[in-house]
Amino acid sequence: MKYLPFLWATLWRKKMRTVFTLLSIVVAFLLFGVLETVDYAFAHPNTGASGANRLITLNKYSITLSLPFSDEQQIRSVPGVSEVTWLTWFGGYYQEPKQFVFALPIDIETFFNLHKGEFVADQAHMQAFRDTRDGALASVGLMKRYGWKVGDRVPLHSTIWTQKNGSLDWNFLIVGVFDAAEPTERDQQSYTLLFHYELFDEGRSFGKGSVGWFEEHVDDATQSAAISARIAARSSLVGASFSAAAGGTPQPGLTAQSPARVKVTLAMVR
């Protein structure tokens, strides 16, 4: 015990070295957990995506690699798919990098149709969002966090998307607020801001006509694995289908190969 003060003092003699050492240990354990999950997933291929009523289609290699918007019609034409919407990672923050904002450009009709019943918003706010090209809906938690009010014009800095004028700063008019319908999910939405995909796609200087990922809703959850395979075959999408129930472990289901673009279809239970 008499050496503990000495050891403690030595650890913090070079603070950065100690911090990076601790971070490397944390990352090692995280990687171990992820690899164990993948190992378990591929060791149980028969579990499939049965019971999932939400599919997500994204680039196989990275969420930062986009998909062509033209895939939307191909996915929508797959039997069993009842709705399709699309989103893109904006990578935004307010004023300084530590003030992260999970900003998402959405198609308002398909997004809220697919997520029907999951969000609560005043109808007047929803109409204002539809009518305002540069309008945005912010979550109740985000409004409180930064002291915003409806009617405020808010600048968000994107770490990825430049506008045509070369600026990474985007300005939005807060026209309404929303919250998760389920109280247990409100913390998850506390950083979320929604704005129009059309404004985003027309305003960005590169990547036009592309999306980050697609979300699909299926009519029959018991057919989700088969529908996932159909999506893969129809739109040259992929590889592996995963079932991810809330808090569950991703588990691979059907696979489909294509010589064209390679993407992956994920499935979630809602």
Select from 256, 252, 268 the least CA-distant residue to 214: 268
Domain assignment of residue 26, yes or no: no
**Helix segments in 78-185, DSSP class H:** 108-114, 123-131, 140-146
* Beta pairing, strands 100-106 & 192-196: parallel
Select from 171, 170, 169, 189 the least CA-distant residue to 179: 189
Select from 220, 226, 240, 230 the least CA-distant residue to 45: 240
Are residues 145 and 183 located together in one domain of the fold?
Answer: yes
Are residues 184 and 147 located together in one domain of the fold?
Answer: yes
Are residues 57 and 101 located together in one domain of the fold?
Answer: no
Are residues 167 and 125 located together in one domain of the fold?
Answer: yes
Query: What pTM was estimated for this model as a whole?
Result: 0.71
What residues have CB less than 8 Å from 243, skipping those under 6 apart?
Answer: 47, 48, 49, 50, 51, 52, 224, 225, 250, 251, 253, 267, 269
Which of 179, 209, 239 finishes a domain?
A: 209
Strand order in the sheet with 240-244: 81-87, 213-218, 54-59, 263-268, 240-244, 251-255
Are residues 164 and 250 located together in one domain of the fold?
Answer: no
Domain assignment of residue 6, yes or no: no
Which of 209, 237, 253 finishes a domain?
A: 209
Domain count across the chain: 2
Are residues 94 and 128 located together in one domain of the fold?
Answer: yes
* pLDDT per residue as tens, the chain (270 positions): 566 666 666 766 776 776 667 667 766 666 665 555 444 444 443 444 444 688 988 877 776 688 999 999 999 999 999 999 999 999 999 999 999 999 999 999 999 999 999 999 999 999 999 999 999 999 999 999 999 999 999 999 999 999 999 999 999 999 999 999 999 888 888 999 999 999 999 999 999 999 999 999 998 888 888 888 888 776 544 433 333 333 333 333 323 333 334 454 555 544
Are residues 174 and 253 located together in one domain of the fold?
Answer: no
**Domain extent for 240:** 43-88+212-270
